[in-house]
Amino acid sequence: MSMRGPMIAAASMLVLALSACGDRGNGEKTEESSAENITAALDVCANPQSDAVSQSLCQNRSLVNLDSTVRQSLVTAAAEVSDAGAQMLVQNQRRWSGAARVMCGIVDASTAPTAEQQTCLENQFRARADQVRTAVQQVGGYTFQRMELVDASPVTAEIASASGLGDAAPVAILRDIRFPRIDGPQTPAIERFNELAAQSPQFRLEEATNEDVDYSIAFAGPELISVRFDMSSDTLGAAHPNTTSKTVNVLMGEGRALTEADVFRAGSGWEDFLTERAVADISRQFSEDGFVPPERDVRESATKPHLWLITERGLTILFPPYSFGAPYVMGNAEVTIPWRDLRPYLNPAAPAPIRPSA
């Protein structure tokens, strides 16, 4: 019997629990999240009971400097969020640190890392220093905090053999799932956004599948927030990774997902217009290959709200691999249609920035 269902359900509960942490204190900020307290919570080298790995790393000047850079960025970010948000930043960093060790082949905390492993960690910390600069973003009047579900598991000899990679197998399997959470007072609308935006693992680490989920905020305003998610899963030994994209569009006034009726007038022929426009645009994008997408496939994707990205400029329709009748090697496609071109089809009561201007 497969354990995927129970595992994913449990992970989903974990994600929702993390997303709801901000409910406690309703966005309150106290001395608990002061720079001094967050610095102390993140400073591994200040703990005299640190394990052998930490003690060794704290003697590496390069790693100490990189860790200090990461820590300072997180302290700065913590100043912009509530107590609950600051604690999440600390938890995210600790979880990332544990995964980074595994990704560098450091499994036994009682054994000091080799020079090669320390070099690997330096590279990991350099990348992390860039990541944490955007751990908190102010967009459209909201404070967005990046949630991170980061885990890693060593690739055993048995897993490497089963994958067919043998000695060429990577050191570890990585799960890196990110999604936005709105910090601050948790109104019903914000709570609902946090629930809809939360992402959960689709694979167990034991399934030897690297999993990556990242996001970008396309639009944020009082009436609507539009978020793009790009996802990838890569099973050891597979011919290629599986990639896809989707959107989460939330009507903040009602605390629900955007629907077709919220954007377009029923009976206006918007489905035909989107399809024709997308077929023509995709054909131009792949003109050198002589590829013309099947109208049926394009229509199937172009009319799905979970593939609509809402921007100030217009509607961007996402076409993940396989979704527009092209082979995987052609990748994905995107079609952006300005709001002015969509005006004859738009619902006059649509939320900004969709709503037709006077």
Q: How many CA atoms lie within 13 A of 199 on its CB side?
A: 28
Reading the block at residue 319, the tokens are: 């076409």
Which residues lie across from 147 on neighbouring strands? 179
Q: Are strands 242-251 and 224-235 parallel, antiparallel or unpaired?
A: antiparallel
Question: What whole-number distance in Å separates Cα of residue 279 and Cα of residue 273?
Answer: 10
pLDDT tens figures, 184-223: 999 999 999 999 999 999 999 889 999 999 999 999 999 9
| Chain centroid, CA 183 distance in Å | 16
Q: Are strands 256-257 and 136-139 parallel, antiparallel or unpaired?
A: unpaired
The arithmetic mean of pLDDT across residues 256-278, rounded, is 98
Question: What whole-number distance in Å separates Cα of residue 126 and Cα of residue 70?
Answer: 9
User: Please, what is the average pLDDT of the chain?
Assistant: 90
Give the pLDDT score at 111: 83
Location of each CATH 3.90.640 domain in the chain: 260-345
When pLDDT is cut at 50, 70 and 90, the band that residue 52 belongs to is: confident
Kindly tell me if the per-residue pLDDT of 262 is higher than 60: yes
CATH fold of 260-345: Actin; Chain A, domain 4 (3.90.640)
pLDDT tens figures, 273-294: 999 999 999 999 999 999 999 9
